Amino acid sequence: MNFSKSDDLYARAQKIMTPVTQTLAKGPGQYTKGAAPKYVKRGKGSHVWDVDGNEYIDYQMGIGPLSLGYAYPRVDEAIKAQLEDGITFSMMHELEVEVAELIHEIIPNAESIRISKTGADVCSAAVRVSRAFTGRPHVLCCGYHGWHDW
């Protein structure tokens, strides 16, 4: 397999990008030179293509959230439609209420739901609310939950 474009990108990145702030699963430094790609160009379903055109099955699934795969038509159509109306508003959006209602319908004991912009925000909020509610200073966690100072 050819990895010349991937290797070139990695050489460029090493000159300008800090390598220590990425998750291990995403950092290009974890992949063995000449044995695996470092940069992906696109994905469709469960497959990804690197910048050199090599095709792979993506067992990492975008580090977890891509259970439907890449470029899932229904999801892509909804995203494109929302992009036309705008995203990341300063005020609440009606879609947040609809999503909260769907979550409550699926998980009836989810008595209170809050929508946030990122998983990192949600994790931090959950930790802080849990600490305040229980009065306990420590939190037990496993897996990757963002790059927080808690």
| Confidence grade of residue 122 (pLDDT, cut at 50, 70, 90) | confident
More confident site: 101 or 36 = 101
Spatial distance between the Cα atoms of 28 and 22, rounded to a whole number of angstroms: 9
pLDDT for 127-145, tens place per residue?
999 999 999 998 887 776 7
Side-chain-side CA neighbours of 31 within 13 Å: the count stands at 17
Is residue 10 a contact partner of residue 34, using CB atoms and an 8 Å limit?
no
pTM equals 0.73
With cut-offs at 50, 70 and 90, classify the pLDDT of residue 120.
confident
Instruction: Find the mean pLDDT for residues 118-127.
Output: 86
Parse the chain into domains and list their residue ranges: 90-116, 118-150
Determine the residue type at 68.
L
Q: Which residues of 19-56 are buried (b: 16+ CB within 10 A; e: fewer)?
A: eeeeeeeeebeeeeeeeebbbbeebeeeebbbbbebee
pLDDT at 25 over 70: no
Q: How far is CA 118 from CA 54, 91, 114, in A?
A: 31, 16, 12
Helix (H, G, I), strand (E, B) or coil at 18: coil
Per-residue pLDDT tens for 40-95?
999 999 999 999 999 999 988 777 778 899 999 999 999 999 999 999 888 999 99
